Amino acid sequence: MKINKLKTFLTIVVLSFMPSTAEAGDEWIDNWKSFAAETGLPEHGAWAAAIDNAEVRALAKDWEDFRGYTASSLLSKETLPAELKPGFIITKDNIDSLPWIKDYLPQYWIDRLTSDWTPIKGIRIVPTTHYFMQRGRLDATKKLGPNPFVINEKGELRDQNGEHGFISEAGLPFINPQNGEELNWLFNAHGVGTDDLYFDTIDMAACNSANNLERKYKANIFWRRMAGRVSAPPLGNVKGFEGITEAGALLILSPRDVRGLAGVRLRYADADLDDNFKLFIPSLRRTRSLTGTNGQDPIAPGLELTWDEWRSNWFKTDRRNFKYTLLKEDIILALPEVGNVYDPLRIANDACNLSGIIDMEVRPTWLYEITDLTQTYQYSVKRVHVDKETYYSQFLEMVDRNGETWRIWDDTRDWEPTTGRFMWRSAVIANVRDERATVITVDSAWDKLDSMTNSIFNIDQLRDRR
């Protein structure tokens, strides 16, 4: 943990023991405070303190007013099992007595309670948090007129003038999605949950079926929304990146033999334009163009993380090649987005094991399927649970071409409650078929976001950045 992050944590811990400022109507905050008092765990107290302030209340209320619901209000309409409440710990000893568990907990996590591969001791249910995005995104969404977007025959998001919706508008599309395509675009619109993203650093551990570390990569990852920026300069669309919606950059810092490997990927709004993808290869000391059509390879040897799975799912929307089907609304247990304060996965120092009880919260989601129509993509189907507050995935399941589950993705976001910005804290990309996992730990560099420039997405400048 970086020093400044530790300071933040300690400050929040201290704040957690100060008198409450909670007001009536913020039950979710009260729930967290009482829960934290029950567990006595400092990280829980710190999270309760992090959300217990006026800024959070105001922003949460504005989003609630706009959406007409909160996670709590949606859950209150459901009949949930009696045990499914904060404080309950699911273990291998009691799981057989919970017949409802398969309806709420992905099979991957059920198996972790009894398996020797990436085992966990238990799953503690924590209170449900009310998540939201930035105020600027809310304001931009409010400004949208009626029926602002359509999806054309290629599956592109277009505005009423026929322009690319991601380029011309900053607001979120289809916040009440009626079908899989609309939900897919809402998910896409979450982007990375912020205008700029900076991981300093991300650790990506390749772990085998014996939970041993095979390789570990340390890297910087940068991300910039190139259109529809609402909170960080340059606002609006970024000059010089016309037609581009997002840009991602990767700079590997270790191991030594790939240190300096740098990649930049630019995503065009046009469905017919493949990503602009460049890689600086240290062993050549030269930049190579890679095809944007091949996102199915692992980012680096040994990893389960492919280029198409940056931010859980980044392969390009195209209704000619994929079918997007809304399956149902679903209540699931999912990792909380509390990464700004602590890691609910509690990844062990060996980078491969989860050291104790993990935390999960009950979340209202939409479940949709992305079905490959070409019979050529690495996955025949992707099943995505999209959170109804974050509009980001809560859990992904990826099915191989034989119809068997191949990989899953689950993560914890580093969500900044006072601003509604998201980055990441940790993730597990597990290859269920071969019992391998990529375990990711992130230090999100909130204090360095202002230093990001467009040049990071210029491979010739990025290559010399190390």
Partner 1 sequence: MNTINSKLYINTINRKNIFFFIMMMSLCIPTTYADDFWYGGRLKVGTGTYFDRLDDSSNGAGPSQFILELQAEWSPNDNVSVIGDIWLRGDRFYDLDDGEFRAPALQNFTSPQSAFLDRFNMSTSSNGTYLMPDPFGASGKENELLDDFDDELLRELSIRFTNDDGTASVKIGKFQRGWGQADGIRILDILNAQDLRQRTLLADTDEIRIPAWTIAFNADISNNVSLELIYIPEVRHSEFIINNPTPNDQTSGGAFGFPFPRLIEGQSGFGMPLLGARLNKKKVKDWDNEEVALRLKFNAFGGEATLNAFHGYQDLPVVVLTGATLHVGSFINDPSASVANVPLDVPTTIGAIHAPGQYVDFIQSLAGGTAAPGDFPLIPFGCMDILNPGAGGFPCSVTADFDLDFTERQKTIGFSFTRDMSELKLGPKNVSPVIRLEVAHEFDKAFNRQVINDPFLPGQLAKGTPALIGTKADSVTHRDQISTLLGFDYNLWLSGWKNQRSSIFITSQFFNIHTKDHENLMFQAPYALLEVEENQQYFTQTYTFGLRNDNVILDGLAVWDLSNDSFAYRQRVSFSAMGNKLIPRIEVGIFDGDEEAGLLALYRQSDYVEFSLTYQF
Tell me the window of 38-46, 132-140, 221-229, 394-402 that interacts with partner 1 (CB under 8 A): 394-402
Total binding residues toward partner 1, as defined by CB under 8 A: 59
Q: In sequence order, what are the residues at sequence separation of 6 or more whose Cβ sits closer than 8 angstroms to the Cβ of residue 419?
A: 55, 59, 134, 135, 231
**What is the C-alpha to C-alpha distance for residues 272 and 244, in angstroms, rounded to an integer?**
13
Kindly give the pairing relationship between strand 286-290 and strand 196-207.
Answer: unpaired
**What is the C-alpha to C-alpha distance for residues 123 and 77, in angstroms, rounded to an integer?**
24
**What is the C-alpha to C-alpha distance for residues 146 and 218, in angstroms, rounded to an integer?**
46
**What is the C-alpha to C-alpha distance for residues 384 and 393, in angstroms, rounded to an integer?**
6
Q: How far is the CB of 214 from partner 1 (least distance, A)?
A: 6
Among 276, 325, 371, 418, binds partner 1 (CB under 8 A): 276
Among 15, 98, 232, 273, binds partner 1 (CB under 8 A): 273
Binding string to partner 1 for residues 1 to 40, with x set by CB under 8 A, is what?
----------------------------------------
Q: What angle do CA 157, 316, 466 make, to 5 degrees?
A: 120
Judged by phi (left if over 0) then psi (alpha if -120 to 50, else beta), residue 391 lies in left
407 near partner 1, judged by CB under 8 A: no
SS3 464: coil
256 near partner 1, judged by CB under 8 A: yes
Instruction: Please check whether residue 426 is in contact with residue 433, taking contact to mean a CB–CB distance below 8 angstroms.
Output: no
* Closest residue by Cα to residue 295 from 382, 224, 366: 382
Q: How far is the CB of 363 from partner 1 (least distance, A)?
A: 31
Interface residues for partner 1 in 151-210 (CB under 8 A)? 206, 208
Binding string to partner 1 for residues 57 to 96, with x set by CB under 8 A, is what?
----------------------------------------
322 near partner 1, judged by CB under 8 A: no
Binding string to partner 1 for residues 212 to 251, with x set by CB under 8 A, is what?
-xxxx----------------------xxx----------
Task: Give bridge partners of residue 222 from the DSSP assignment.
Answer: 198, 249
302 near partner 1, judged by CB under 8 A: yes
Q: Phi and psi at residue 49, in whole multiples of 5°?
A: -70, -35
Q: Which residues in this chain contact partner 1 in the complex, by CB under 8 A?
A: 206, 208, 213-216, 239-241, 253-257, 259, 273-274, 276-278, 282-286, 288-294, 296-298, 301-302, 374, 376-378, 400-402, 406, 433-434, 436, 451, 453-456, 458, 460-461, 464-466
